[in-house]
Amino acid sequence: MPDLRDLEIMMDSRVPIIVIETHEEPRALELVRRAGIKQHKPVFSWSVTEGVKRMDLTHSVPEHLTNEPDAALKHIKQTGRSGVYVLCDFHPYLEDAPRLVRLLKELAMDHEQHQHTLILLSHALNIPPEIQRYCARMDLALPSDDQLMHLVREEASAWSSQNRGMKVKTDNDTLTKLVANLRGLTYSDARRLARGAIFDDGAITSSDLPELNRAKFQLLDMDGVLSFEYDTSSFADVGGLNGLKDWLHKRQEHFLEPQTGLDAPRGVLLLGVQGGGKSLAAKAVAGMWGVPLLRLDFSALYNKYIGETERNLRESLSLADSLAPCVLWLDEIEKALATDASDNGTSKRLLGALLTWMAERTQRVFMVATSNDISRLPPELVRKGRLDEIFFVDLPSAAVRRDIFSIHLRKRHQDPDALDLEALARASEGFAGAEIEQAVVSGLYRCQAEGRPLDTQHVLEEIAATQPLAVVMGEKLAQLRHWAEGRTVPAD
């Protein structure tokens, strides 16, 4: 076992304090117990509920009056025999506790004399600077695909034994997808989710995968910085963008099943006018490829973690890697990465962290960035190699506008054939997709107020009452089109 070997190496190297951050406390304790036995050292655990207790013996009694953390550390310090001491959930006692930090430091400095190895075990640990130099961190390895498959088969056998030998219904393709969706989870979390999928109905089907992904993302929570988008549209709900659709279709198979000799698709930038369908297209990529869609909220990065923006970006990107294959959506990216003299260089450091991840990532994470103003983006982000392509999403043509009207009418249980779509398409010249949708919505409100069914005239009146963004922001749109010409690929 690699984890056991790594722990033994740390103990042989005489590291005074080993830090293990994990939610799998039972697994970590068993690992420490086995390492201690192999090295012929007594192994103790401490918790605030039980105090110091021998854990390598079957019937051990807790040491008297060692429940309090300072009493436990004093007891360890006064013990002459070398041993391994696991301090469980010690993290709250390290905050504003100079006395306990000093005791830990003295134990670490006396390591050569007493050979005590302290192991701090918790879900999260902020090590005080006074003892950082005496510490070494160890991460428990996540299960491999083979181990996950073995785990799933164990749960299937358990279900079978409880149901008179009945077999769990599944197929190899779905089973492989289930294992892929369990990647990045700990043993215990993966087992719990696999058990939930199997014991629900005695079958592993494709309908189990979306719910499993939701549960997985909740376990890997990022407090709103990275959100799991449940509503991933299909490209049937997106009017136009035929160039983008064709480009994605050619790369779909290789993204889902990588082939030797071909570089994996890395991502695209969708540039265009507001309301042109860029966000909907980002959702549709995930829906088309059948993978999870993650949305990175840069505003939450800045506002929620003041002073820790870069670290939380790295954690978000690491989480995206663990959910691969997936689509990572960065909406209106220019608002996050545009440099500003008032942000103390945060945007530049954020850009550096993102570029490093883009250059070094090996997982199948396809990045879809959207932007309304490419002039604010740094050139090192948009150059070829960082992203595969830059697509320009222009205002829809007449044919595309007709399709968009049809989509939004059907979406609201209206018959498109009952309206004159050609007339609506002609009247809505210069309208973006979002403005067309709003014309349909407003028309429905008007006809409901009048107690009449929706007709072409209702929608035409709403179109006439709307000043589209192409008119309001005509100069900016002209500049954007001028820049995009010859520099980008038309999305339609």
- pLDDT, tens only, 16-68: 999 999 989 999 999 999 999 998 999 999 999 999 999 988 888 888 999 99
Give the containing element (helix H, strand E) for 393. strand 389-393
Residue 338's pLDDT band, with cuts at 50, 70 and 90, is low
For residue range 433-450, list pLDDT tens digits in order: 889 989 999 999 988 888
Asked whether 131 and 104 are in contact (CB, 8 A), the reply is yes
Closest CA to 93 of 60, 65, 59, 127: 127
Give the three-state DSSP class for 228.
Answer: strand
Give the containing element (helix H, strand E) for 267. strand 267-272
Average pLDDT, the chain: 86
Pull the structure tokens for residue 69.
């953390």
Of the two residues 222 and 216, the one the predictor is more confident about is: 216
For residue range 271-324, list pLDDT tens digits in order: 887 777 888 888 888 888 888 888 887 777 775 545 567 777 887 888 888 778
Give the three-state DSSP class for 269.
Answer: strand
